[in-house]
Amino acid sequence: MIKPLIAGNWKMNKTVSEALDFVKRLKEVLPDGLDRGVVIAPSFTALRSVAKETRGTVIHTAAQNLHWEEKGAFTGEISAGMLLDCGCEFVIIGHSERRALFGETNADINRKIRAALPAGLKPIFCIGETLAERESGNTFPVLEGQLKEGLKNISFDDIRQAVIAYEPVWAIGTGRTASPEQAQEAHAFIRKIIETCFGEKVSSGLPILYGGSVHPGNIDSLMARPDVNGVLVGGASLEAESFARIITFK
């Protein structure tokens, strides 16, 4: 059975002091003996502070991006080694905002995944279709292309450390959420593609998260689906009580 994973992507929000206040409050409201993983992805400036504050707890730290090179003349970028040095265990790769706003391609994303895994960072690899792609009946071809190109030349051993996040672009920050049935359909398809590429043993153990306007009101129905192993939360992860309710889904 795959252990549920609840991840919060703060995007460009919270100063260091605000991040620390949040984490301290979250630790207060979460119950003891939690049987699921929790990940927080703050801004780069807060990574080290958040990682230090959550050390020894069920809360893990993720970065929101990385560069595929270890070092060099790449102004404004950050490497896998630097993220590890800050205390990161996970890194979000391929988020739709990175694709749409910063022009990241499947090839770029593949290079980032291939940089993260050997370094010991667990990638949360995001895929998802736009509204136009869904309405034209191209959801599955788009997901298959993103998966196969993003995971090209990834070894069987490395893929076991990865997490897939299905985020329909039309549901991110729009208030529109894929129905539990739509989420399950997409997740089952993703798992089948992983099985085709890496085998049933890998597929059956790979966490697949849903992202896209996740909130306390829809978390229970989403997590009731057999192939939904967790969620990647945006806006609802910015408030401790809201995020705690999502973490403690029923």
Res 175: pLDDT: 75
- State in Å, rounded, how far the first CA of the chain is from the last one: 17
Q: Please tell me whether residue 122 adopts helix, strand or coil conformation.
A: strand
Q: Kindly report the average pLDDT of the chain as a whole number.
A: 96
**Cβ-contact 239, 201 below 8 angstroms:** no
Q: Which residues are catalytic?
A: 95, 167
Question: What is the phi/psi pair of residue 7, to 5°?
Answer: -120, 140
- Counting Cα atoms < 13 Å in the Cβ hemisphere of 136 gives 8
Structure confidence by residue, pLDDT tens digits, 108-133? 999 999 999 999 999 999 999 999 99
Judge whether 102 and 76 are in contact, CB under 8 Å.
no
Cα gap 144→128, rounded to integer Å = 10
Q: What range defines the domain where residue 231 resides?
A: 5-247
7, two tokens: 């991840």
Which is more confidently placed, 164 or 171? 164
Tokens describing residue 93:
């790769």
Q: Which of 168, 204, 212, 200 has the alpha carbon at shortest distance from 186?
A: 168
Which residue bears the tokens 């694709």? Answer: 99
pLDDT in tens, 40-90: 999 999 999 999 999 999 999 999 999 999 999 999 999 999 999 999 999
**Angle between helices 139-150 and 180-198 in degrees, nearest 10:** 40
Residue 124: both structure tokens together: 């949360």
CA distance 142 to 148: 10
- The per-residue pLDDT for range 207-229, each reduced to its tens digit, is 999 999 999 999 999 999 999 99
Confidence (pLDDT) at 165: 98
Report d(CA 60, CA 195) in Å as an integer.
28
Structural domains counted in the chain: 1
CA distance 76 to 137: 38
CB–CB of 171/178 below 8 Å? yes
Backbone angles phi, psi at 202, to 5 degrees: -65, -45
**What mean pLDDT do residues 139-165 have?**
97
DSSP for residue 5 = E
Domain with residue 220: its CATH number is: 3.20.20.70
Q: Give 63's Cβ-side CA count (13 Å radius).
A: 27
Q: Name the residue among 250, 207, 198 with its Cα closest to residue 231.
A: 207
pLDDT confidence of residue 172: 79
